[in-house]
Structure 1
Amino acid sequence: MPGIERGLPGGPVVVVGGGPVGMVAAASLARFGIPVVLIEAEERPKTDWRASTFHAATLELLDELGIADQMHAEGLVVPVYHFRDRRDGLIAAFDFSLLADETPFPYRLQLNQQHLVRMLHERLARTPGVELLFGARVTGVAPRAGNGALVVVSTATGTREVHGSWVIGADGAGSTVRRALGVDFTGWTYPERFLIASTSVDLAEALPGIAEVNYVADPREWLFLLRTPESWRAVWPVPAGQSEADALAGATLERQFQGVAPRRAGYPIIDRQLYRVHQRVAGSFRAGRAVLIGDAAHINSPMGGVGLNSGIHDAVDITRRLARIAEGAAAEAELTAFADVRRRVAVEYVQADTQRNTQRLSEADESRRRAAHEEMRATAADPDRARAYMRRASLLESVRRFGVGLPPGAPAPAPAR
C-alpha cells in the first residue's frame, strides 16, 4: 500500500468497525492515499468464522486491493455448487465456469472471513497514515463545526475524541454509529435461530457425491453444507423454543450430524455459533458526514453468501467516492449517489435473493416445493438461464447494472467478454 499522499478537509476518514468490511474500507482509503483512523471495540482483530464465501464480483474488487492472490493461496476454489433435497437428493448443479468469459474468477472462493481481516490488518499496521485503534468503543458520533465529524471513544486509558472529515459506520447490525445518527433499521427477524457448526470430518466421504457447497431443502429441517480450508461446516435452523445451551450442546450437535450422515466414529466439533437472523435495511445509508456500510446498513439471511460480499461492495463504493471528493468532486452528489445506489442494491438484490433462497429451502407446501424443484432443474439444464442465474448469485449482475462507486450519472461498464 502507498504512503499517504492526500487528504480531505477536516482530517482523516474515521472507519468504525474492524471486521472484514471495515478493514476493506480502510485498505481502500489507504490505497487512494487518504489518511484513515480505524476504530474497533475488540482488543485484537476479530476471529468470527461466520461468513466464508467470496463471489466473483467481490474477488474482482479485492484483486484491485492486491489481496486476492494471498486469499487464493489460503482459500478453496469451488466452481460447482448443488441445490439438493434431503429426501430426493440432487436437484440441480450450477457450474460457475459458464461465466469464464465475463470474469477472471468464475467460482466461489471459500475462506473464513477472519483470514481476510488478518491479511488486511497486517498490511494496514505497516501503512503510513493509518491509525488502528483497537480496544476502543465508540460512545458518540456528532457533526463538528465547519467540516467534519467528531467520534467519541472509550478506551482503557479514558475517553478520547477523534476528529475526522467523514465517518464510515461498519460496526455491524447493532451499529453504534447508526443509532447515534438516529437512522431506523426496518425489517423483521426470523422466528428460528441459525446454528453453524464446523467439524473436522470430511463430509464428502460420509456423503459421496456432494459438492463442496450444498443447499439442502427440507420442510422440517433444511441444511447448508459447505467446505472451507479448515473444516466442513453445517448450518441449520434452531426452533424458537429450544434453549441456547441445548442447541449448542455436544450431544445435540452429534445427533444433528448423525442425522446428516451416520458415522460410527462420531463428529468432532471445532467451532459452533448460534445467532439470530434478520432481514433489515437502514432507512438511509447516509446522514450528514457519516455513512453506513455492511451489516450496519443491511443485514440478511446467509443463504446465498452475499451479505459479506455486498458489504465489501459498499466499502469500495464509498471509498472511491471519497477519493474523488479529495480531488475536488462535489461531495453532495457523490454521497447522494452512494446512498441511493447501495440501498437499491441491498433491497433489490441482497434482501430479495436471500429471502427467496431461504424460503426455497424451507418450503413446507408440497406443491410449491415441487414447483420450486422443477424450476431449479429447468434453470440448471438451460445454459442461458443457468448463466443468468449465476450472474445474479455471484453479484456480477448488480455490479454490471449499477457499477461500484461510479461517478454520479456515469453509465455502468459493459460486461467483460
Structure 2
Amino acid sequence: MTPVLVAGAGPVGLTAALALARRGVAVTVLEAGDALAAESRASTFHPPSLEMLAGLGVLDELMERGRISRTFQYRERRGGVIAELDLSLLSGDTPYPFRVQCEQGRLTPLLLAHLLEAGGEVRFGARVHDVLTHAGGVQVTTEDGVPYRGGWLVGADGAGSAVRRCAGLKFDGLTYPERFLVASTRTDVAALLPGIADVNYVFDPDEWLVLLRTPDHWRVLFPTPAGTPDADELARLPDRLRGVADTGWDVAHASLYRVHQRVADRFRTGRVLLAGDAAHVNNPLGGMGMNSGIHDAVLMADALAGVLAGGPESEVDAVAAARRDVALTYVGRATHANWERMRDPGLYHAELRALAADPGAARRHLLRSSMIASLRDVA
C-alpha cells in the first residue's frame, strides 16, 4: 500500500507529490490524461508561491523560464495609468518581492522531473472512477478497473473532481454571468502602449480587460456575454483587439470559458483531502487560483508527512480547515471584489491614486494581493 495517492498531475497535484517525496514519503500520482496538460490558463506566481517552490528546489529553473515582474498597473481604457504599485515595497516581507510571469505548463514538467528523481511515481491514463475509504486508508479504482491502495488520497483533479464527487462533498457557489475570452498574441503590446507594465488591470464600464505578459506572449482577457455562440465571439475578437490598439494583431490562440466561484463544504473527509480547483475555484482576476492551490498542496503535504511520522491527525484537520477559511475569506472575497471593481471603476480611481501615493497603505494592499497576508493571518 502506497502511503499517499494523489489524483491529478497538474501544478497542485505535482507540488503536493513533490513536497511529500522531499519528506521521504512514497507517493503515486494518478493522472487522467496520457501526458501533462498543455493548456495553461494560470501564468502568475506570487511571492509566497515562489518561496514554497524554492523550498522544493524548482524555483531557479522556473525563473529561468519565466519573466520577473516588479510592478503592476491599474489603467483606464481610454486614458492612462491610474496607479502603479511596486512590489519592492515587500522587500522586508519576502525574499522574492516580485511576481514571476510564466505559464503553468512550464512548471509542471519541472515538478514531474524532480518528483521522479525523488522516487515518486506517476501513472498516466489513470482516470479516477471510484474511491472507497476505510479506517486504514483508501482504495482508488481507475476507469480501466485497476485498483490502487493508499493510506491517504489527495484530490487535486480539477474543478470537475472525481475524488470530490466520490467523497460526496458539495461544491456550492456561483457562476458569473459572463464568460471570459482569453487571447494569446505575439503582438508587442509594450510597443503599442508605451509605459505599460507586465500586468495591467484596465478599467472601463463598458468593456474592461486584463493585459499581462508571459515569456512568449501577451495575454488579453475580455468579459464576454453569456449565451452567444463561441464562433461568433471568436470572430469578433480582431475588432475587440483593435479597440485596445488600432493595429493588426497576431493571435496565437484564443479560448472561451465559464467562470465560477465555488468552495467545497469540507477539504477533508476521512483519509481524503481536496486541494486546488478540486477544493475551490474562483475568477482569475488577481492570479490567486493556482497560487492558492500550490499553498494548499505544500501545507497539506507537510501535515500528512507529520502524521505519517507519528504525529496527530488533528494537524491535518487544522490545515484543511485553515485552507478552506483562506478560500472563503481571502481568495473568494478578493477575486470577487476585483471583478466588481473592474465593472464599476469610477468609484475606485481616487482610492487607487491615494493608495499608490502612500507607501504604508500600498504595502498593506500588496500583502493582501500577493497572498502573503492569507498565510500569515491564518497561521
| Structure 1 counterpart of 2:99 | 108
| Structure 1 counterpart of 2:74 | 83
| Structure 1 counterpart of 2:216 | 230
In structure 1, the residue corresponding to 2:219 is in which secondary structure? Answer: strand
d(CA) in 1 for partners of 2:150, 2:6: 10
d(CA) in 2 for partners of 1:218, 1:142: 50
User: AA paired with 2:321?
Assistant: D
Give 1:387 shift: 0.2
Q: Is the 8 A contact 1:285 1:343 kept in 2?
A: yes
User: AA paired with 1:123?
Assistant: H
| Structure 1 counterpart of 2:370 | 394
Give 1:380 shift: 1.2
Question: Which residue of the other structure, out of 378, 383, 400, is the alignment partner of 2:359?
Answer: 383
| Structure 1 counterpart of 2:272 | 290
d(CA) in 1 for partners of 2:196, 2:16: 36
Question: Which residue of the other structure, out of 265, 289, 303, is the alignment partner of 1:321?
Answer: 303
In structure 1, the residue corresponding to 2:145 is in which secondary structure? Answer: strand
| Structure 1 counterpart of 2:160 | 174
Q: Is the 8 A contact 2:261 2:281 kept in 1?
A: yes
Per-residue CA distance 1:322-346 (angstroms, 9 max, x = gap):
1111211111x11210221001111
Give 1:122 shift: 1.9
Question: Which residue of the other structure, out of 30, 55, 62, is the alignment partner of 1:39?
Answer: 30
Give 1:305 shift: 0.3
Q: Is the 8 A contact 2:300 2:320 kept in 1?
A: no
Aligned length: 379
In structure 1, the residue corresponding to 2:339 is in which secondary structure? Answer: helix
Q: How do 1:4-23 residues align onto structure 2 when only pairs under 5 Å count? A: 11-23=2-14
User: AA paired with 1:320?
Assistant: D
Question: Which residue of the other structure, out of 238, 241, 246, is the alignment partner of 1:257?
Answer: 241
Per mean C-alpha deviation after superposition, the further-off stretch among 53-62 and 269-278 is 269-278
Give 1:274 shift: 1.1
Question: Which residue of the other structure, out of 48, 71, 74, is the alignment partner of 2:65?
Answer: 74
| Structure 1 counterpart of 2:203 | 217
Q: Flag as ranges the 4+ runs of structure 1 deviating above 4 A.
A: none
Q: Is the 8 A contact 2:49 2:294 kept in 1?
A: yes
d(CA) in 2 for partners of 1:271, 1:23: 26
| Structure 2 counterpart of 1:134 | 124
d(CA) in 2 for partners of 1:270, 1:87: 26
In structure 2, the residue corresponding to 1:173 is in which secondary structure? Answer: coil
User: AA paired with 2:210?
Assistant: F
d(CA) in 1 for partners of 2:264, 2:289: 14
| Structure 1 counterpart of 2:333 | 352
In structure 2, the residue corresponding to 1:152 is in which secondary structure? Answer: strand
User: AA paired with 1:131?
Assistant: E
d(CA) in 2 for partners of 1:268, 1:371: 35
User: AA paired with 1:35?
Assistant: A
User: AA paired with 1:237?
Assistant: P
d(CA) in 2 for partners of 1:63, 1:205: 33
Segments of 5+ residues of structure 2 without an aligned counterpart are none
| Structure 2 counterpart of 1:48 | 39
In structure 2, the residue corresponding to 1:103 is in which secondary structure? Answer: coil
d(CA) in 1 for partners of 2:238, 2:113: 37
d(CA) in 1 for partners of 2:246, 2:2: 59
In structure 1, the residue corresponding to 2:360 is in which secondary structure? Answer: helix
In structure 1, the residue corresponding to 2:19 is in which secondary structure? Answer: helix
Q: Does 1:306 align with 2:288?
A: yes
Question: Which residue of the other structure, out of 313, 317, 325, is the alignment partner of 1:336?
Answer: 317
TM-score (structure 1 length as normaliser): 0.89
d(CA) in 1 for partners of 2:20, 2:254: 34
